[in-house]
Chain A
Amino acid sequence: SAVISQKPSRDICQRGTSLTIQCQVDSQVTMMFWYRQQPGQSLTLIATANQGSEATYESGFVIDKFPISRPNLTFSTLTVSNMSPEDSSIYLCSVPGGTSGRGETQYFGPGTRLLVL
């Protein structure tokens, strides 16, 4: 299994500012995923981050709002830019796992709880 840590674990931010969330994995992985979970809602995929290439964003999410970096195979960052109260959510990163190399399972980080005032 993969051990994933995220920083910060929580933050309170003012609207109009930006926050960068870090995701660190204890093993090398090609793909990392970023999800958002709004209050009382399920998880929504924001983007897929491959090392060495541009992130692939899901419908409704754009790079200007959620820029992603993937400098190496164990680390990624997600920035929430120009924040508004609607960005208050839990942000989670995940990586595929399993023994076949086809991502039979996914491991999730503990999440970053963001409150925008």
Chain B
Amino acid sequence: DAKTTQPPSMDCAEGRAANLPCNHSTISGNEYVYWYRQIHSQGPQYIIHGLKNNETNEMASLIITEDRKSSTLILPHATLRDTAVYYCIVRVLSNQGGKLIFGQGTELSVKP
């Protein structure tokens, strides 16, 4: 799986949009971009994933650049409960389920 690069930490004001960047310049054509988050003392939680089109769900939006070398996770209205470590992961989907290779992630602090 390709590696990703994320800023180690970010701050965001409550109610504002949180934009978390991720670089994955060596991504392969069949690798998806995944985002997970880990709230303190809990197991990681799936947020969203995409291949090349932008994606949106009830939690977040994922914007992938046209060359697929970077992406941005957007939390449109961050709350204090969104404070967590956010992991950007690239991986291939397979019939075997696939394993996740975690980088260091971005520690997002949402402040009142």
Contacts and interface: CB of A to CB of B under 8 A. Distances in A.
Interface residues of A, number: 28
B54 to A, nearest CB: 17
Helix, strand, loop or mixed for chain B's interface?
loop
Interface string B36-76: 10100111111001000000000000000000000000000
B25 interface: no
Contact of B42 (A29, A94, A110): A110
Nearest to B49: A104
A52 to B, nearest CB: 14
Given A103-B94, A109-B43, A110-B42, A42 B99 contact: no
B87 A106 contact: no
Interface residues of B, number: 23
A92 B43 contact: yes
B97 A102 contact: yes
Which residue among B96, B103, B105 has the maximum number of chain A CB atoms within 10 Å of its CB?
Answer: B96
A45 B45 CA distance: 16
Contacts of B102: 35, 42-44
Interface of A: 4, 29-31, 33, 35, 42-45, 48, 92, 94-97, 100-111
Given A42-B104, A103-B97, 17 more contacts: A4-B43, A31-B97, A42-B102, A42-B105, A43-B102, A44-B102, A92-B44, A94-B100, A102-B94, A103-B93, A103-B94, A103-B96, A105-B46, A105-B49, A106-B46, A108-B44, A110-B43
